[in-house]
Structure 1
Amino acid sequence: MTSNGPFPRLLPDSTSDPAAIARNDWSAFSEIDVLRDHWTVKQWAPGRTGYYWYLTFDDADLIEFAAECQQALAIGGFDPVPLDALHITMMGIGSTGAVTEGQIDGLISIAREHLSDVKPFDLTVGPLSGSSGAIRFSVAPWDPLFDLHQLLSTCTGEALRSVASASSAARFRPHLGIAYNNIDRTAIEVIDAVAKLRRAERVNVRVNQVELVVLRREDHTYRWDTLAVLALGG
């Protein structure tokens, strides 16, 4: 099964229950027939940079968890996400060539004010799952991430009138990637390998800030420069 829409296509039975979210992620991943080369599917022009809203993580337990899974994934054809680049993509804003610095300054100001009313929250990371082009952790609950996504969309739409704030809401599926698939291949071998790594343990992380970053692609890696770190709850 392949799809150009959101992945998983269907929402879980509950967006607050970690078990329901993990079950939905795995059900969708296990039904994939073909894995695609992420770097071919996700086209990125040479030299392109873009503005994104990110959640980033330097939690020691999460880094250890991701490293263990990367090392245990005994199958080729993957580019691991650098351990200092673990993140959840909240939303894209626009290319640096299409968005002015003045618009970004305005966006930061608007978002800082609105985020001061958002309380920090905790996420559970794990178990391991995947998509049609990556290996990734399920994250839960989704409800605070949906709320944060909507707020960032509203702020972005207010600062950049050309951005349709509601356009990406239906496609948002929170996850935390640890490796990108770099070849086209049948999926069953990868699904079986990931299944062996779906351990019961989870890692809890705290979300207390959002970053506005300038993202670039370096060969088979995403890297970024942080423009602003905006605290939740002021």
Structure 2
Amino acid sequence: MINRWQNREEPGPGQGTLYWHILVGDHPEARDLARTAQERLAGFHGLHMTPPEWLHITTLVAGPTEEITTDQQHQILATASELLAGVSPVTVTFGRIFYHPEAIAVAVEPTDPLRKIHNAVQTATRKVTGREGHTEGPTRWAPHMTLAYSEAEQPAGPLIIALGRELPACEVAINEVTLVDQRGSERLWNWHPVGRVILDRP
């Protein structure tokens, strides 16, 4: 494991970054799974746990708030709503753990239904701002819910032994995606939802 923030550029005080997130902190199933995992990892140093209220699936990094106006943010939301008007809520499964040098996360499966959401918010962002946005990590978007971020160098082996490769699977109904203004340093969790798009096809 490595320190995620050792060489990572972050917004300064008063600055922000717009993210599209699927927020799952209000789903008891997701919170219970995260709590189980975080309790198993509690004895280790160098881990920064995701707060329960901000458990999320990062869908797209839209760009800096100083370069995307408030009007544009609302236009992005309206455009995404139009693009997702024919999309129904999606039921996904959490359970399989994967390890990255910067984080420990749980995979979200199946991925194909969620790609419709990702493609829609990316299209909306591009239409309004001219920006493609980007995903963090691999070029191909891999939906996941991060349980803990690494902020120290240490071997992964003991963490894997403590947590394992899989937790009891749980299902979560995804029915919205949210545009969030993340202000300041990532670890502050100073998040301000701008608006959300509801998946509610009749």
TM-score (norm 1): 0.77
On the 8 A contact 1:52/1:213 being kept in 2, the answer is yes
Q: Which amino acid aligns with 2:2?
A: R
On the 8 A contact 2:11/2:17 being kept in 1, the answer is no
Q: CA deviation at 1:159?
A: 0.8
Flag the structure with more relative contact order, 1 or 2, with Cα contacts below 8 A and sequence separation at least 6. Answer: 2
- SS of residue matched to 1:220: helix
CA RMSD of aligned residues (A): 2.0
On the 8 A contact 2:11/2:183 being kept in 1, the answer is no
Counterpart CA distance in 2 for 1:181 and 1:124 is: 24
Aligned counterpart, 1:193: 162
The alignment covers a number of residue pairs equal to 196
Q: CA deviation at 1:41?
A: 4.1
Counterpart CA distance in 1 for 2:156 and 2:184 is: 25
TM-score (norm 2): 0.88
- SS of residue matched to 2:113: helix
Q: CA deviation at 1:69?
A: 1.1
Pairing partner for 2:149 from 156, 180, 197: 180
On the 8 A contact 2:12/2:185 being kept in 1, the answer is no
Counterpart CA distance in 1 for 2:111 and 2:184 is: 27
Q: CA deviation at 1:217?
A: 4.3
Whether 2:174 is the aligned partner of 1:207: answer yes
Aligned counterpart, 1:94: 63
Counterpart CA distance in 2 for 1:50 and 1:215 is: 5
Aligned counterpart, 1:43: 9
- SS of residue matched to 1:90: strand
Counterpart CA distance in 2 for 1:207 and 1:148 is: 10
Q: Which amino acid aligns with 1:36?
A: I
Larger deviation, residues 185-194 vs 151-160:
185-194
Counterpart CA distance in 1 for 2:180 and 2:145 is: 17
Counterpart CA distance in 2 for 1:205 and 1:71 is: 21
On the 8 A contact 2:19/2:61 being kept in 1, the answer is yes
Counterpart CA distance in 1 for 2:61 and 2:185 is: 18
Pairing partner for 1:227 from 168, 171, 194: 194
Counterpart CA distance in 2 for 1:39 and 1:102 is: 32
Counterpart CA distance in 2 for 1:210 and 1:219 is: 20
Deviation string, structure 1 residues 90-134 (Cα, Å, up to 9, x no partner): 001111111112211211111111111111110101122221111
Structure 1 residues not aligned, in runs of 5+? 1-34
Report matched runs for 1:1-234 at 5 Å.
Answer: 35-47=1-13, 48-57=15-24, 58-73=26-41, 74-161=43-130, 163-164=131-132, 168=135, 170-195=139-164, 198-199=166-167, 201-218=168-185, 220-233=187-200
Q: Which amino acid aligns with 1:98?
A: E
Structure 2 residues not aligned, in runs of 5+? none
Alignment identity in percent? 26
On the 8 A contact 2:77/2:196 being kept in 1, the answer is no
Counterpart CA distance in 1 for 2:120 and 2:80 is: 8
On the 8 A contact 1:208/1:231 being kept in 2, the answer is yes
Counterpart CA distance in 2 for 1:83 and 1:209 is: 18
Counterpart CA distance in 1 for 2:54 and 2:108 is: 17
Q: CA deviation at 1:157?
A: 0.7
On the 8 A contact 1:123/1:140 being kept in 2, the answer is yes
